[in-house]
Chains A and B, each alone.
Chain A
């Protein structure tokens, strides 16, 4: 018999209440936050693409590098890549079960997303600052 009031979990564990995955609903919530943000940012992206369609390089650089457009592009890229990083993580955890393969895929996912995000952010800043 365990004594009354005895818990096998530590007080900290009970307070956090995160269960065996140790992350609670954080992943689910982040996926929703980035999804909601993606709706207006994707519409903005379509408008930006339409505004540069058929223009020459100098005009494209001027439009993409202007502050409002550059900021919208940065928000779109960072938010989208964050969203797809979370989504791909979920797909990998659903379908890849062997430890080494799963960890390799999760790492590759992070590498791909960080590289794609940094490259895009660098390009947008370069367009904007005209270096």
Chain B
């Protein structure tokens, strides 16, 4: 009576940790993370709209938070996440058509997403703080 032998674990296909990280792979992960951030961030928009609809005092409270250092930091990150997710989404829509998969093109698209999202976020905040804000 030796009993049935313990079955050897079946081989699994390799997962993420076996590959050398690449820029496109990292960006794919960042796309998901920004998506999850925006998921929670929708509460900020809902809060803002509800406060605006429920009177000056509630709206002042929201403005107080958004105007604070922490509030501004949250909104800045939210702006970047939204733009990054949008540019990343456009990149994926281009890929959906079967274009942009070449070694040069896909790296170029990836870099354009990172630099474009940083540039547009700073541009929007510059316009908001310097041009529109002080009116």
Contacts and interface: CB of A to CB of B under 8 A. Distances in A.
Interface of A: 32, 35-36, 38-39, 42, 46, 50, 53-58, 60-61, 64, 73, 77, 80-81, 84, 87-88, 91, 116, 119-120, 122-124, 126-127
Interface size class of B (residues with CB under 8 A): 20 to 34
A64 B49 contact: yes
Interface in B114-135: 124, 127-128, 132-135
B53 interface: yes
B42 to A, nearest CB: 5
Contacts of A64: 49, 52
5 residue pairs, one from A and one from B, having the closest CB atoms? A123-B49, A57-B56, A123-B53, A126-B53, A123-B50
A116 B52 contact: no
Contacts of A42: 82, 86
Interface string B24-50: 000000001001101100110110011
B59 A81 contact: no
Interface in B46-69: 46, 49-50, 52-56, 59-60
B117 to A, nearest CB: 13
Contacts of A53: 128, 132-133, 135
A116 B55 CA distance: 20
Nearest to A36: B93
Given A60-B59, A120-B42, 15 more contacts: A35-B89, A36-B93, A53-B133, A54-B132, A56-B56, A57-B52, A57-B56, A61-B52, A88-B36, A88-B39, A91-B36, A123-B50, A124-B49, A126-B53, A126-B54
